[in-house]
Chain A
Amino acid sequence: MIRQLKESLKSNNYNEAVYLVRFLSDLVNCHVIAAPSMVAMFENFVSVTQEEDVPQVRRDWYVYAFLSSLPWVGKELYEKKDAEMDRIFASTENYLKRRQKTHVPMLQVWTAEKPHPQEEYLDCLWAQIQKLKKDRWQERHILRPYLAFDSILCEALQHNLPPFTPPPHTEDSVYPMPRVIFRMFDYTDDPEGPVMPGSHSVERFVIEENLHCIIKSHWKERKTCAAQLVSYPGKNKIPLNYHIVEVIFAELFQLPAPPHIDVMYTTLLIELCKLQPGSLPQVLAQATEMLYMRLDTMNTTCVDRFINWFSHHLSNFQFRWSWEDWSDCLTQDPESPKPKFVREVLEKCMRLSYHQRILDFVPPTFSALCPANPTCIYKYGDESSNSLPGHSVALCLAVAFKSKATNDEIFSILKDVPNPNQDDDDDEGFSFNPLKIEVFVQTLLHLAAKSFSHSFSALAKFHEVFKTLAESDEGKLHVLRVMFEVWRNHPQMIAVLVDKMIRTQIVDCAAVANWIFSSELSRDFTRLFVWEILHSTIRKMNKHVLKIQKELEEAKEKLARQHKRRSDDDDRSSDRKDGALEEQIERLQEKVESAQSEQKNLFLVIFQRFIMILTEHLVRCETDGTSVLTPWYKNCIERLQQIFLQHHQIIQQYMVTLENLLFTAELDPHILAVFQQFCALQA
């Protein structure tokens, strides 16, 4: 088992390692392992805190492994070796005092300390263990079947653990990210039921650990998972439903990312509501109410997840909710978190149903927060548009589209469109002409407005025209601008069109990033759909790089296999086959480099635009003498955080560039703080 433990640690499998340590600890309780040898192992663990030039997260893990085993074995170890244990404790306390906690604000779900402080996980665990020690290691929650057999076990032969040296830190070691402990309930929330253990009690730790463990084991099978959760042993002594709801939201809102895909938690909660229809829905509704009340200080990324969870959940229960309870949001500034939340939820509910449905279930007082009817806006549609430049061409195009014109026919109609940017036509005839783009995109999208299918067909059929018009960077940006003007009432359509345009290479990822930060989008900058588009764009870029890297790997493997076969068969004829494959590998290598470069450029563009837009705001506030902390600012700075958190693995590759080029010491401290917190996450 010690070998297994070493293997887990070497292969960065820290979850498994923690369970192994805990199991070994319980073996001490069974008198299988001699306590002193376990103490020796923990001494070695805690001595990692003395290591220099290693990431803090490495030291953190060893301390965590030690502390988290104590609820199981603290009593035994203290009884046998209290002096040594005290020494280990002093060492641990020393370490916890001096370790840096720059990363904590980035991981907190709420920025407020009340009603429940968002504690760093090691601090919380330390407080819990301290309390356990003070209570003389009395712990009643863990199942201890060995107690019943104590008389037999205590006569068994004990074994000593071999001395355990923690494997050294290597370049490839990746340690678990630090966490913040999510708390939303305490004993006052369920006054009638059993008392909820306090936040610094070890019972709370054990219950939460066990519930997280159940989810980790059964998350793929929601019926099993729900059944296991509600049949938690000892459930009569604790307000189990509150613990379950808290643990599930803890995972859903975890930063940087939930352990599992968001939608799993939604369907797990639905399953739990079905299993316990008399008790769980009330707790869940109470939790929803509490989350709503604390929206003002909730991290924007967590608010996004709250919006998605709540709308999906409601769609499974006919959108029944007591909206009037939330009337307080109607009198607030529409940009503040609560009305914004309601607006975004209603928009998502509409996407899962249809516009009239929303109008039907929302009380009349809330109509200002209802989403717009997702209709298309065509600028050449009515009589007043006669005077608009390009109007006649638009009409001509409409006729052509309806009579199934070809790309060439469209090109010839567009040839006559004057370019407002130039005095005379240049020779190529197809340089960036915003008016051409305007009439073409407006008219085509308007005619294809009926459904997604129509719009996708339109993009496919006239792909050639799109590619030509959007050849330059300005062209790409303008295509996106015009598309947005047509569909600004239908964010879902905007998202799918951007997706298709990237996939068919009408626009590229950098163009989308620049468009999002453009002035045309400033009014909608804080809306959820904008950020969903940006993150979806980044994801596409990431997936593209991975795909080509995989192709390269496969080609290299194929070549290696061919070489091996050749050396086995001594067959000269395959020399020729090699040549083609080597050429392919070279091409793929270039492709990979170019894709990686495009990926890096995308992130640099995004960070640069963030810095510009935030600096502008900070400077303006300074000169005007107004407070920096507007709702817009909170949203924007947390969106910057979100980029770091959601794509942290890729961004880690660019740290040097970011530090030297963008996040330099001259930057405003507000913005630099975000970068420093990010660096601290794996430092």
Chain B
Amino acid sequence: MPLDANLKYTQGFFGGVTTAKLNQEPPSWCPHGATSNDLSILCNDSSLELSEYWDQKFSGDNDEQERLLMESSTLYVGNLSFYTTKEQIYELFSRCGDIENVYMGLDKIKKMGCGFCFVEYFNRAEAENAMQFLNGTSLDDHIICTDWDLGFREGRQYGRGQSGGQLGDAFHDDFNVDRGGFGKQAQVPVNFTLSSFVRGPVRWT
């Protein structure tokens, strides 16, 4: 049965993303969610691979960190709007399995949302669903990125940037209304250098 309405299904609906925000890949300072572009079909689980991030504050060695990450059923979720609520995260991530806990990332000083969270599932398989199917999709009009995490411990919910939020939020110079406006560095004229708190491969948390 042909639909005359065919004509009005223009690019606006469902496709031809028009707003700049949705076109935005995770900012360059957030290396997550970048699945490999070459279609290596033989490599079936590239979406589950570990990213380049290593937690600098982890007290064991890299091998142990890698082992924990390969077994983890906790995910780090980044590039959230500061206004995204736990309720929204529950709704989205419940589509992949039963959630055990959600820990919202907080600005260390303001104790308010600063754009990341941890989602804990009861088992690894359900966490894998989230890595495979939610990474790189939209929540609250932001393309979120997910990555394996070592597991929540008290203290890990705080941003590690000097101004209280995430490290990366200090340095971007575009205006992002959902991530605190301009980068903190632009806002607060403090003289600090990159090298003072970056060691090795970077994740901007």
Contacts and interface: CB of A to CB of B under 8 A. Distances in A.
Interface string B42-79: 00111100000000000000000000000000000000
B46 A352 contact: no
Contacts, number: 136
Nearest to B14: A281
Nearest to B135: A267
A286 B6 CA distance: 7
Given A281-B9, A451-B86, A267 B1 contact: no
Contacts of A543: 98, 122
Contact of A262 (B14, B15, B95): B95
A317 B87 contact: no
B88 A351 contact: yes
A263 B95 contact: yes
B138 A263 contact: no
A278 interface: yes
Contacts of B46: 221
B20 interface: no
A580 interface: no
Given A289-B3, A539-B98, A220 B44 contact: yes
B13 A354 contact: no
Given A318-B19, A322-B8, A273 B47 contact: no
Interface in A296-355: 308, 312-313, 315-318, 320-322, 325, 348, 351-354
Interface string A484-500: 00000000100010010
Contact of B3 (A220, A221, A286, A452): A286
B95 A452 contact: no
B85 interface: yes
A313 B15 CA distance: 11
Contacts of B11: 277-278, 281
Interface stretch (B126-134, B158-166, B171-179): B126-134
Interface in A80-129: 115
Contacts of B154: none
A261 B14 contact: no
Contacts of B95: 262-263, 266, 308, 312
Nearest to A453: B86
Nearest to B13: A285
B96 A263 contact: yes
A267 B134 contact: yes
B137 A224 contact: no
B88 A353 contact: yes
Contact of A264 (B91, B133, B139): B133
A316 B6 contact: no
Nearest to A265: B133
Contacts of B2: 188-189, 191
A189 B44 CA distance: 35
A223 interface: yes
A16 B3 CA distance: 40
Contacts of A115: 1
A549 interface: no
A188 B39 CA distance: 35
Contacts of B138: 315-316
A317 B133 contact: no
B86 A452 contact: yes
B41 interface: yes
Contacts of B39: 223-224, 227
A352 B133 contact: no
Interface residues of B, number: 45
Contacts of A451: 85-87
Chain A interface mostly: helix
Nearest to A116: B1
A463 interface: no
Contact of A317 (B1, B13, B132): B13
Nearest to A277: B15
B13 A452 contact: no
A661 to B, nearest CB: 31
A451 B41 CA distance: 44
B189 interface: no
A352 B88 contact: yes
Interface string B96-118: 10100010000000000000000
Interface string A531-555: 0000010011001000000000000
Given A188-B2, A222-B132, A352 B9 contact: no
| Most chain A beta carbons < 10 A, residue from B14, B35, B91, B95 | B14
A551 to B, nearest CB: 15
Interface string B10-37: 1111111101001000000000000100
A320 B13 contact: yes
A248 to B, nearest CB: 14
Contacts of A273: 14-15
Nearest to B35: A223
A278 B6 CA distance: 13
B90 interface: yes
Nearest to A185: B1
Contacts of A221: 35, 44-47, 132
Contact of B133 (A222, A354, A540): A222
Contacts of A540: 98
B186 interface: no
Given A224-B39, A451-B86, A317 B9 contact: no
A318 B133 contact: no
A320 B47 CA distance: 29
A297 to B, nearest CB: 15
A432 to B, nearest CB: 31
A165 to B, nearest CB: 35
A509 interface: no
A352 B90 contact: no
Given A281-B13, A315-B138, A318-B22, A325 B5 contact: yes
A501 B166 CA distance: 35
A480 interface: no
Question: Interface centre among A115, A223, A539, by most B CB within 10 Å?
Answer: A223
Contacts of B12: 320
B64 to A, nearest CB: 24
A277 B96 CA distance: 27
A601 B95 CA distance: 28
A451 B89 CA distance: 13
A270 interface: yes
A317 B86 contact: no
Contacts of B22: 316-318
The 8 closest A-B pairs by CB, nearest first: A281-B15, A281-B14, A282-B9, A351-B91, A285-B9, A316-B138, A277-B15, A263-B95
29 contacts: A218-B44, A221-B45, A223-B35, A228-B41, A261-B133, A267-B133, A273-B14, A274-B15, A278-B15, A281-B13, A281-B15, A281-B16, A282-B6, A286-B5, A286-B6, A289-B3, A317-B17, A317-B22, A318-B19, A325-B5, A348-B91, A352-B92, A352-B139, A353-B140, A451-B87, A452-B87, A452-B90, A453-B86, A543-B98
Interface of B: 1-3, 5-6, 8-17, 19, 22, 35, 39, 41, 44-47, 85-88, 90-92, 95-96, 98, 102, 122, 129, 132-134, 137-141
Given A221-B47, A312-B92, A315-B139, 4 more contacts: A223-B35, A263-B129, A317-B22, A352-B140
